[in-house]
A and B are shown apart, each in its own frame.
Chain A
Amino acid sequence: MPTYQLSVNGQSRSIAADAEMPLLWVLRDTLELRGTKFGCGRGVCGACTVLVDGTATRSCVTTVDAVGTKRITTIEGLARAGTLHPVQAAWIEEDVPQCGYCQAGQILTAVALLASHPQPSDEEIRETMSNNLCRCGTYLRIRRAVRRAARGGAAPSRAGGAR
């Protein structure tokens, strides 16, 4: 079984795995980073989205071999020194999740969008966020949270309030 030196959330992790093993299962079962979710295994739903060199990537259809030494960021690696990423903070402010299962993928898709388009149009938000399914139907709050994060988190929202 080949060994790989992966770069995950800024750390170098050495693992042994089948070359064809999807990154998803390496993250979840081998590295115990279980914030990345299994939804369909076919790259359709987006629950398994991680960043590979900053690009939103479906880890369930990306083999560990294809990743090589590229930088992987998972939901566990977004916050820095205990400070939430603005997208995570916006997700809390807008109280986006219902069941929450798809939200790691949604958040990473939003992070990649804002990295390439810091001020996306509503159309760009809807189109990009259409890459990720949410079975509970949190789409409207997702739109609001992405807009909030793009504005630096300060803008008024329908969903503020007690926490």
Chain B
Amino acid sequence: MTRTMRVDRRSFLKVSAGAAGGLLVGFYVHRDARADTAAFRPNGYVRIDADGTVTLWSKNPDMGQGIKTSLAMMIAEELDVDWQAVRVEQAQLNREWYGGQGAGGSDGTPSDGPLGQRAGAVARAMLMAAAAKRWSVEASSCETARGVVHHRATGRSARYGELAAEAAAIAVPREVPPLKDPRRHTILGTRVGGVDVPKIVVGEPIFGLDARMPGMLYAVIEKCPVHGGRPVHVDAAAALAVPGVTRVVTIDGHRNPTWLKPGVAVVAGSTWAALKGREALRVTWDEGAGRDESSGSLSARFRELAATPGKVLGDQGDVVGAFDAARTKVDAVYEAPFLAHATLEPQNCVAHVHDGRCDILGPLQMPTSGAQVVAAILDIPRESVSVRMTRIGGGFGRRLTSDYAAEAAFVSRAVGAPVQVVWSREDDLRHDYYRPAGLHHVRAGLDAGGRLSVWHHHLVNVSRNRYRLGDTPPESTEIYGLMAPPFADPKKQFDNDFQPTLIPHCRLEYTEASTSVPTGALRAPSHNFNAFVIESILDELAHEGGVDPVALRLSYLGAAADFPYEGDNQAPYRPERLKRVLTLAAEKAGWGTPLPKGRGRGIAAHFTFGSYAAEVAEVSVDAQKRLRVHRVVAVIDVGRPVNPLNLEAQTEGGIIDGLSAAMFGEITIERGRTVQSSFEDYRLLRNRDAPEVEVHIVPGTEHPTGFGEIALPPLAPAVANAIFAASGIRVRRLPLAASGFRVSP
């Protein structure tokens, strides 16, 4: 496999960060020239005021994953301050201070965390140097605790605030001082509540949609109901007659539809007037080539393409002969629907284009790439775009594209005023960048000894990489978890999902299907369905072959081994860590103990983004296919946990998100249009149907990895496998509702 085939979201982030210049060496040499000289601000992460106030900045935006709190904890630990005394702020986009900024790929903790740790350690060293200078002692004879520098030998001490002005005059050390021994951690590993929670519970206006600029107008945008269509004629008269409506602006869109889609904006003095104005708008559309597409036609196309071999991405052994010879065989087709992200905060952004510049204020998940997109749309230098990030009302991958910021910038330039673009819920569900739909055809088998011997996997789907006009092949973002490690060289970088080289006979094929339906990444991209297929097939094989599902997994994962894993800070992939979470989950869930009739347990495990998870679901199914998920036991291994309180939250949330999507999640297409339009027909799980969740955290010692995504992939297969155990019904297509399952009425 070539390097370019492996470019995924995480690699993209790293490249962005690297291209932004000198991230690792340059990040701490920039001082805030505007700062009060009495304040100590050695880098973009830390500021200590003379009055003792400690302010820490999170370089990445928070959309509920808790990174604003976690990154601050990592800085505070090395700065050695009292967590109670810390104030945490959201950083703005600042290349000099932070390099690339954005949230994705569960990468904040493993990759950005260490930058904050170093920033904290540097600041602490400078405070110690300042104290040493004041006392005419060696800096190495000083120590710190809870925001105070001590010199034990002479019994002297000084609070950080007292040293701020002197520390500001100390030269930045050339080398980052050593980080704390984790055994001395006082903040990391403790249960810390989210830093924005006190603001959230009193309704402070901290979200994107709450952002305001003086003189701001509001805009809503009508888009062609058929995906890929564009406006050809606009009759704006009736819209302009609505009180409050000031302008109607046609948006041509960009060649890359993840940058800017075509549409017609109605601009008004209030959100309500803009919404009313849009109702009166008359647009004639060129519906384009997509108007004949439907979910039915796409599904038929997937089946047709699956009938002929795809592009072979990897092949070892003799899959045909081994499948013939297998004692236990499964030959099955699994189908994935399009999914919407449905962030509860609809897309929105404020932009102000003025004097050749653009100021962006909104819920940007990817401020660095967002600024690039805005600059390209306006044809101004990237340096002329400023970005302030608000708190984000949910991401789930939707805001990896910054189209809503580009829209706001385009409309602001057209009307010459600050503009907030607001999407309605209908806009959000009908014009999302959906999780790709697809079909997996798998032939797999066990040999006479009950061991996994053959795996022949053909994925047919629409490629989100094709849609975003990426320069990597379409298969790389869809099946990447299945491709690696490269067959020819198992010692090369290991990627995600699954270990095909552990199976003697294995072939992976990919076929791309074209579509006009917009696609993009959704939480745990590719993993969110690949895991369903893989872990369900393993379960099918186990039941078919009379092997325990846990034992089958433990046997194919094989002996202890280290596989190099992507990323600078990543521990190697170790199958034994996956085996440990599997074993623990089985134990905690009472695997193998009897259950009443109509109840069943299912297990599934997954590895991605450096993290490991196994989940056991316990469900009951009655004769009317009424499903109740009683309990989910999850075991998570993310190395040394930064904030267990948040890790539990993300695990509970990932499980409920996974169950919501498995139960209801499906976007369907008719006549080229998205059928669903609100939460009535795009259902989410409600409180009454949420299972009890029991989270067990493996006390790891590895460098911490992210956990915003890992809990999601194993959930759907764990539930589907439990449904089989309870009812004998094998689910090969999601959502469950489409197969007649239902939860509470």
Interface residues of A (CB under 8 A from B): 1, 18, 21-22, 25, 28-30, 33-42, 44-45, 47, 74-76, 78-79, 84, 88, 91-92, 95-104, 107, 126-127, 129-130, 132-143, 158-163
Question: Whole-angstrom distance from the CB of B690 to the nearest CB of chain A?
Answer: 4
Q: Which residues of A are found within 8 Å of B693, using beta-carbon distances?
A: 140
Residue on B nearest A163 in the bound complex, by CB: B193
Q: Which residues of B are found within 8 Å of A102, using beta-carbon distances?
A: 344
What separation, in Å, do the CA atoms of A88 and B204 have in the docked complex?
A: 13
B344 near A39: Cβ-Cβ < 8 Å: yes
Q: Which residues of A are found within 8 Å of B207, using beta-carbon distances?
A: 37, 100-101
Q: Report which of A74, A99, A126, A143 forms a contact with B345, defined as CB distance below 8 A.
A: A99
What separation, in Å, do the CA atoms of A110 and B218 have in the docked complex?
A: 32
CB interface residues, B 315-349, toward A, < 8 Å = 342-346
28 CB-based A-B contacts, threshold 8 Å: A28-B271, A29-B218, A35-B204, A36-B203, A38-B271, A40-B678, A41-B425, A91-B201, A92-B197, A98-B64, A98-B194, A98-B653, A99-B392, A100-B194, A103-B200, A126-B688, A130-B687, A130-B688, A133-B686, A135-B343, A137-B652, A137-B656, A137-B685, A137-B690, A139-B685, A143-B687, A158-B648, A162-B190
What separation, in Å, do the CA atoms of A41 and B345 have in the docked complex?
A: 12
Residue on A nearest B62 in the bound complex, by CB: A99
Q: Which residues of A are found within 8 Å of B346, using beta-carbon distances?
A: 38-39
Q: What sequence of 0s and 1s flags, for each residue 680-697 of chain B, a beta carbon within 8 Å of any chain A beta carbon?
A: 100011111110110000
A159 near B645: Cβ-Cβ < 8 Å: yes
B194 near A95: Cβ-Cβ < 8 Å: yes
Q: What sequence of 0s and 1s flags, for each residue 399-426 of chain B, a beta carbon within 8 Å of any chain A beta carbon?
A: 0000000000000000000000010110
What separation, in Å, do the CA atoms of A42 and B682 have in the docked complex?
A: 13
**Is the interface on chain B under 10, 10 to 19, 20 to 34, or 35 or more residues?**
35 or more
Question: Whole-angstrom distance from the CB of B678 to the nearest CB of chain A?
Answer: 5
Q: Report which of B652, B654, B688 forms a contact with A141, defined as CB distance below 8 A.
A: B652
B687 near A126: Cβ-Cβ < 8 Å: yes
B202 near A76: Cβ-Cβ < 8 Å: yes
Q: Report which of B201, B270, B393 forms a contact with A29, defined as CB distance below 8 A.
A: B270
A42 near B657: Cβ-Cβ < 8 Å: no
A100 near B64: Cβ-Cβ < 8 Å: yes
A139 near B342: Cβ-Cβ < 8 Å: no
What separation, in Å, do the CA atoms of A26 and B25 have in the docked complex?
A: 50
Q: Which residues of A are found within 8 Å of B678, using beta-carbon distances?
A: 40, 42, 44
What separation, in Å, do the CA atoms of A141 and B209 have in the docked complex?
A: 25
B196 near A100: Cβ-Cβ < 8 Å: yes
Q: A91-B201, A162-B83 in contact; A130/B655 too (CB < 8 A)? A: no
A137 near B660: Cβ-Cβ < 8 Å: yes
Residue on A nearest B649 in the bound complex, by CB: A98
Q: What sequence of 0s and 1s flags, for each residue 685-726 of chain B, a beta carbon within 8 Å of any chain A beta carbon?
A: 111111011000000000000000000000000000000000
Q: Report which of B84, B209, B270, B655 forms a contact with A137, defined as CB distance below 8 A.
A: B655
What separation, in Å, do the CA atoms of A75 and B686 have in the docked complex?
A: 22
A133 near B344: Cβ-Cβ < 8 Å: yes
B202 near A97: Cβ-Cβ < 8 Å: no
A99 near B63: Cβ-Cβ < 8 Å: yes
B205 near A101: Cβ-Cβ < 8 Å: no
What separation, in Å, do the CA atoms of A33 and B648 have in the docked complex?
A: 32
A75-B201, A97-B196 are known; give 4 further A-B pairs, CB within 8 A: A40-B678, A78-B202, A133-B684, A162-B193
Q: Report which of B191, B196, B204 forms a contact with A162, defined as CB distance below 8 A.
A: B191
Q: Which residues of A are found within 8 Å of B684, using beta-carbon distances?
A: 133, 135
Q: At the interface, yes or no: B135 with Cβ under 8 Å from chain A?
A: no
What separation, in Å, do the CA atoms of A160 and B345 have in the docked complex?
A: 28
B196 near A140: Cβ-Cβ < 8 Å: no
Q: Which residues of B are found within 8 Å of A134, using beta-carbon distances?
A: 344, 687
Q: At the interface, yes or no: B272 with Cβ under 8 Å from chain A?
A: yes
Q: Which residues of A are found within 8 Å of B63, using beta-carbon distances?
A: 99
B652 near A140: Cβ-Cβ < 8 Å: yes
Q: At the interface, yes or no: B732 with Cβ under 8 Å from chain A?
A: no
A38 near B209: Cβ-Cβ < 8 Å: yes
Question: Whole-angstrom distance from the CB of B89 to the nearest CB of chain A?
Answer: 17
Q: A40-B679, A78-B202, A92-B197 in contact; A99/B344 too (CB < 8 A)? A: yes
Q: A39-B425, A98-B64, A139-B656 in contact; A88/B201 too (CB < 8 A)? A: yes
Q: Which residues of B are found within 8 Å of A18, using beta-carbon distances?
A: 243, 272
B680 near A163: Cβ-Cβ < 8 Å: no
A100 near B393: Cβ-Cβ < 8 Å: yes
Q: A137-B652, A163-B192 in contact; A92/B679 too (CB < 8 A)? A: no
Residue on B nearest A87 in the bound complex, by CB: B201
Q: At the interface, yes or no: B96 with Cβ under 8 Å from chain A?
A: no
What separation, in Å, do the CA atoms of A133 and B151 have in the docked complex?
A: 55
What separation, in Å, do the CA atoms of A134 and B679 have in the docked complex?
A: 12
Question: Whole-angstrom distance from the CB of B216 to the nearest CB of chain A?
Answer: 10
What separation, in Å, do the CA atoms of A137 and B648 have in the docked complex?
A: 12
What separation, in Å, do the CA atoms of A137 and B685 have in the docked complex?
A: 8
Question: Whole-angstrom distance from the CB of A141 to the nearest CB of chain B?
Answer: 7
Q: At the interface, yes or no: B42 with Cβ under 8 Å from chain A?
A: no
CB interface residues, B 40-87, toward A, < 8 Å = 63-66, 83-84
B343 near A44: Cβ-Cβ < 8 Å: no
What separation, in Å, do the CA atoms of A44 and B84 have in the docked complex?
A: 39
Q: What sequence of 0s and 1s flags, for each residue 647-676 of chain B, a beta carbon within 8 Å of any chain A beta carbon?
A: 011101111110010000000000000000
CB interface residues, B 373-409, toward A, < 8 Å = 391-396
Q: At the interface, yes or no: B198 with Cβ under 8 Å from chain A?
A: yes
What separation, in Å, do the CA atoms of A22 and B192 have in the docked complex?
A: 38
Q: A130-B686, A139-B687 in contact; A99/B680 too (CB < 8 A)? A: no
Residue on B nearest A22 in the bound complex, by CB: B272
Q: A99-B392, A137-B656 in contact; A142/B203 too (CB < 8 A)? A: no
Q: Which of A37, A47, A101, A130 has the most CB of B within 10 A?
A: A101
Q: At the interface, yes or no: B162 with Cβ under 8 Å from chain A?
A: no
A104 near B687: Cβ-Cβ < 8 Å: no
A29 near B203: Cβ-Cβ < 8 Å: no
A45 near B656: Cβ-Cβ < 8 Å: no
Q: Which residues of B are found within 8 Å of A91, using beta-carbon distances?
A: 197, 201
B202 near A101: Cβ-Cβ < 8 Å: no
